[in-house]
Structure 1
Amino acid sequence: MSDAIDPVTLAKRLIACPSVTPATGEVFDILEAALVPLGFEVHRFVAGAAPDGPVENLFATRGAGSPHLGFAGHLDVVPAGDGWASDPFVPEERGGVLHGRGAVDMKSSIAAFVAACADIGEHPGTLSLIITGDEEGPATFGTPALIDWMAARGIRPDMILIGEPTSEERLGDVVKIGRRGSVNLWVTVGGTQGHVAYPHRADNPIPRLARVIDALEALHLDDGNDAFQPSNLEITAVETSSNATNVIPGWARAQLNIRFNNLQRGADLVELVRRTAQAAAPGARVEAKISGEAFLTPPGPIHDIVSAAIEAETGLAPRLSTHGGTSDGRFLISLCPVIDFGPPNATMHKLDEAIAIEDLDALRRIYARVIRLALGGA
């Protein structure tokens, strides 16, 4: 068995790095320094260029052959914001709780998995860590670049556990077996700018955009299914070319997001919005960016392994869910079955983000059980 690693100490060291997306440098140095003594071969590379890059990524591997368990995660964090009770990048324990940006999403999960690897002796098969510096941002050169890097070297895990915070009321009550897809769209309606006192010399695009919004709001996408809730379209912003009180704007734009289930495809939804906008306001322009398609990991070994490990440590039979936001499982599902499981998510992205120390210790034990069950003989 390798020398033990305290997940709390490692989590603190990672949190102390202000690795606002995209993460680079020191936070990867700390992770690499923890992995090398455990027998991992660590590869780091930078991918992409502006505007979505460059992005630093890390792939670490130990062992050889099958079965191959991959652990995926990200070292980047969202901006801290103002109003914390303590410095968000100076980790602080208060009352059995560790505070700091990334404590939940998701440096503690990475620390717990590394500590679990230290708890495991020699094992058959392969363990790997697939760690990006850009999950919270565009993600263009993060996990997709890691997948390309692995493919070029013939590396393909048999199953992947992502350490995203999935638990809700208690550690282990929820795991994510799939995620909804997401597409952002912008609908722009053109007009002619003019003085409000002379409307006959202008063409106000706002009423036409309002008709587009009404038509989009009236769409019924689906009723969901046994695995997913209904797909949902939300208008998230409206803007015009002018905010002056006496100017009719030259254009008006609506921004919207659709979170969709596996009954839909991103490209089909973009086309639906395009047709709807054209019908309500001929000439309307639609731009779109598909962040990821919906995916579902069907019942199989990874479900059983993660559920059994959680129940053994917590006594809970976790609920299998697809609710919530996206994760990099949207990319990794192209490789193998994927499940997300991590700490309670109540404080992720919030001020005073925090994880209970006892949850961090329990997470290490759960991950160690996952490794033993996945690889056998560990």
Structure 2
Amino acid sequence: MTTIDLRADPVALTAALVDIESVSRDEERIATLVERALREQTVGFEILRHGNVVLARTHHGLPTRVIMAGHLDTVPIADNVPSRFVVDDAGLKMLYGCGSVDMKSGDAVFLHLAATVAEPVHDLTLIFYDCEEIASEFNGLGHIERELPEWLAGDLAILGEPSGGWIEAGCQGTLRVRLSTAGLRAHSARAWLGDNAIHRLAPILQRLAEYKAREVDIDGCVYREGLSAVRVSGGVAGNVVPDAAEVDVNFRFAPDRTVDQAVDHVRAVFDGLDLTFEVTDSAPGALPGLTAPAAKDLIASVHSHGAGGVRAKYGWTDVSRFAARGIPAVNFGPGDPNLAHKRDEHVPTAQITAVTAMLRSYLTGAV
């Protein structure tokens, strides 16, 4: 493939993007094709390539600027490239393939609109970035945030994350802590001479089992928190009482908490236990920001098409990067997020068409 057609039906464009393998750290080819297509098939955009990030923006002097951002990478392919179309038992047409949900269908919608919306009522910024599916240190949007922050200025950011055609507002924060216990090693035949560090995990696990998750309503979006053990480690050999054990705990917290407040909360949950507490990873949440004028207009466009509406985003996404800069940000794209990364990942083609229509109405002011 030497080119992609941005003016093609966004369903066909999604299939074309899926057929370009772009596992994280291997996005050069897809970034080159996206850059070339934007340069050759759009009008009025300033276009910049930064590593494997492709950026484009208009300068029409309009009163508001909308950012549309999507990642180009996928998780490893699982015998699901090239793409294929299937009609299910209900007669619905599905597009199968790696990244069809997460998130090449969202990318296709943004690219198609960039090429076909001639007179937007907002100035537009498009960001197609790499390495979202792996460690945050490699995230291309993070690189832009640090090295070209002026490209992140705007009044509303729309991330093409799969949301089933709903507006999923903001996101929850995430925190991982490692709780370690210490004991005394001994031969298991003389266990009374030791102190089993794994057994010392029991009160930690008990508190997790009894934990009651908080629900928080922000701007009409209900966020439900969760505190979960996600990894347990311990043991030396089959005949040794272990002297060390640890459990990793993940806290998904509502965006009304800061990271420091989340840390304090988790410390309080395990207060009084004999353990070592270490924060291993954290990322703040993002408030929904649905009261901002640009966000209200998007909601009105979605409602005018009789679509799903608005709900909270439970997982963490890159909307957090925009919210930290005071920019309202939402997740909005085709596809069921529960199908992301699966071998049978697939998206209803009607959702791609519907999301395209809703965003076209929003960008042209035809609400």
- Normalised to the residue count of structure 1, the TM-score between the two structures is 0.83
List alignment gaps of at least 5 residues for structure 2: 88-92
1:343-369 per-position Cα deviation (integer Å, ceiling 9, x unaligned): 131522222211222322232222222
For residue 149 of structure 1, report the CA deviation from its aligned partner: 3.3
Which residue, 254, 266, 270 being the options, matches 1:261? 254
Which residue, 171, 177, 183 being the options, matches 1:185? 177
Matched, 1:68 2:65: yes
Matched, 1:144 2:142: yes
For residue 124 of structure 1, report the CA deviation from its aligned partner: 5.9
Matched, 1:58 2:48: no
Alignment of 1:90-239 (within 5 A): 90-95=82-87, 96-123=93-120, 126-142=123-139, 143-151=141-149, 153=150, 156-167=153-164, 172=165, 174-220=166-212, 222-226=214-218, 227-239=221-233
Distance in 2, matches of 1:363 and 1:162, equals 13
Aligned AA for 2:317? S
Alignment of 1:263-282 (within 5 A): 263-274=256-267, 276-277=269-270, 279-281=272-274
% same residue: 25
**Contact kept? 1:212, 1:276, Cα under 8 Å:** no
**Contact kept? 1:117, 1:368, Cα under 8 Å:** no
Judging changes above 3 Å, is the alpha-carbon distance between structure 1 residues 127 and 297 closer, same or farther for their aligned structure 2 residues? same
| Greater alpha carbon shift after TM alignment, 326-335 vs 344-353 | 344-353
Alignment of 1:236-315 (within 5 A): 236-242=230-236, 244-274=237-267, 276-277=269-270, 279-281=272-274, 283-312=275-304, 314-315=305-306
Q: CA RMSD in A?
A: 2.6
For residue 155 of structure 1, report the CA deviation from its aligned partner: 5.4
Distance in 1, matches of 2:112 and 2:225, equals 39
Judging changes above 3 Å, is the alpha-carbon distance between structure 1 residues 363 and 296 closer, same or farther for their aligned structure 2 residues? closer
- Length, aligned pairs only: 350
1:18-72 per-position Cα deviation (integer Å, ceiling 9, x unaligned): 22224520111121122112033322224xxxxxxxxx32322133434211101
- What is residue 24 of structure 1 aligned with on the other side? 27
Q: What's the secondary structure of 1:140's corresponding residue? A: helix
Distance in 1, matches of 2:191 and 2:110, equals 64
Q: What's the secondary structure of 1:32's corresponding residue? A: helix
For residue 123 of structure 1, report the CA deviation from its aligned partner: 4.3
- What is residue 321 of structure 1 aligned with on the other side? 311
- Normalised to the residue count of structure 2, the TM-score between the two structures is 0.86
Distance in 2, matches of 1:240 and 1:127, equals 52
Distance in 2, matches of 1:361 and 1:16, equals 19
Judging changes above 3 Å, is the alpha-carbon distance between structure 1 residues 157 and 150 closer, same or farther for their aligned structure 2 residues? farther
List alignment gaps of at least 5 residues for structure 1: 47-55, 82-86
**Contact kept? 1:97, 1:357, Cα under 8 Å:** yes
1:164-217 per-position Cα deviation (integer Å, ceiling 9, x unaligned): 1112xxxx3x21122111112211112233310122443311122212222344
Distance in 2, matches of 1:294 and 1:8, equals 30
